[in-house]
Amino acid sequence: MKTNTLLISFLLFMNISSASACINTYVFDLGSEGLSKQQALDKIKERSKKFKTHEELNDYGVLLIYAHQYDKAIQTFKSIENSHPNLAKTAANLGTAYELKGDSVKAKYWIQQGMKRDPNIHQGSEWIHVKILDAQLNQQKDKTWIQKNDVLGLDFGKDVAPKAKVKTIKFENHSYNLEKILVHSEIQMDQRLRFVNQDPIAAQIVFNMGNIEAYLMQNDLQTITSLFDVADMSGYADPDFLRKRVNYLNTSKWYAFKHKIIYSFKRLFGMI
């Protein structure tokens, strides 16, 4: 899908630390904003077809992903897997290429392989990627799944004021609190929103990023409501409810008072 540059610019404003959440290079620098399809095509033309190392071949495969040549990218990463097996970056890149091609089953397999090979790949955020792929598979079976379920298992209620009914998510042998979920969501969404436009799964995760921020009150109000704007633009499944929550955050004097006190306290004591 066409990249939404407005969403990318916003997430960069959020000071997300990983510019390549699901795509891995060795030497080639993608820059803070990644590459457009045309930029990738131009760089592919510049590069020699002969690659001396698997690292160079990997980076060529990444260019193919940005050029939307997913079949060629998959062939490239499979070649690396055959010649240099068990590399975490290869598995993660294969998973991403398969996902962008539309094969969620193979994508999930390879993303899980990447996690097994390196549990800390993408700063340990790949569990969210697996959850996203599970959601995609559920959506294929039931187009209304996203309207009835939360991708990560979070629940901030149906009142206009977000209330965290779930404060910890368990995945395999790990537990993630709201702060960690927010950080990992930022890492994953930074890359994902470069490749998708209208995606209710990604939109729901961004919506919950806004909910977490609103609940924890560790960011300024403009940034919090901007997250909800991004979720809305990305195709959140219940836009009417989203706007009601945003309206509450923007107009509630009680919330504004609490936010000012808590946010100022956290900044004063270096908690954010």
Q: Are residues 200 and 264 in the same domain?
A: yes
- Residue 24: the pLDDT is 82
Say if residue 165 is in the same domain as residue 84. no
3-state DSSP call for residue 202?
A: helix
| 217-247 confidence digits (pLDDT tens) | 999 999 999 999 999 999 999 999 999 999 9
Report residue 107 as tokens. Answer: 């994508």
Are both 213 and 106 inside the same structural domain? no
Residues of the chain with pLDDT under 70: 1-21, 30-33, 48-49
Answer with the one of 89, 124, 159 that is the final residue of a domain.
Answer: 124
Q: Are 127 and 170 in contact (CB under 8 A)?
A: no
CA distance 269 to 91: 42
Q: Does the residue 222 lie in any domain?
A: yes
Same domain, 112 and 150: no
Predicted local distance difference test score (pLDDT) of residue 4:
44
Q: How far apart are CA 113 and CA 109, in angstroms?
A: 6
- Exposure of 254 by Cβ count < 10 A (0-12 exposed, 13-18 middle, 19+ buried)? exposed
Beta strands in the chain (DSSP E): 168-171, 174-177
Are the C-beta atoms of 71 and 39 separated by less than 8 Å?
A: no
Which pLDDT value is given to residue 23? 81
3-state helix, strand, coil in the chain (%, to 5): 65, 5, 35
Domain boundary among 97, 124, 151: 124
Torsion from C-alpha of 162, 163, 168, 171, nearest 10 degrees: -50
Would you say residue 137 lies in a domain? no
pLDDT per residue as tens digits for the range 158-181: 999 999 999 999 999 999 999 999
pLDDT of residue 154: 98
Same domain, 189 and 78: no
Q: What is the CATH number of the domain that holds 65?
A: 1.25.40.10
Radius of gyration, CA atoms only, the chain: 19
Of 59, 90, 124, the domain-final residue:
124
Q: What is the pLDDT of residue 26?
A: 78
Q: HSE on the CB side for 40, CA within 13 Å?
A: 19
Question: Sign of the C-alpha dihedral, residues 251, 255, 257, 260?
Answer: negative
Do 177 and 272 lie in one domain? The reply is: yes
Residues 166 and 269 occupy one common structural domain: yes
User: Is position 12 within any domain?
Assistant: no
In this structure, the number of other CB atoms found within 10 A of the CB of residue 263 comes to 19
Shared domain for 153 and 266, answered yes or no, is yes
**Residue matched to tokens 């045309």:** 38
- 171 and 82, same structural domain? no
Domain count, the chain: 2
Is the residue at 17 inside a domain?
Answer: no
Same domain, 56 and 164: no
Q: Is residue 7 part of a domain?
A: no
56 is in which domain, residue-wise? 22-124
Do the domain assignments include residue 13?
no
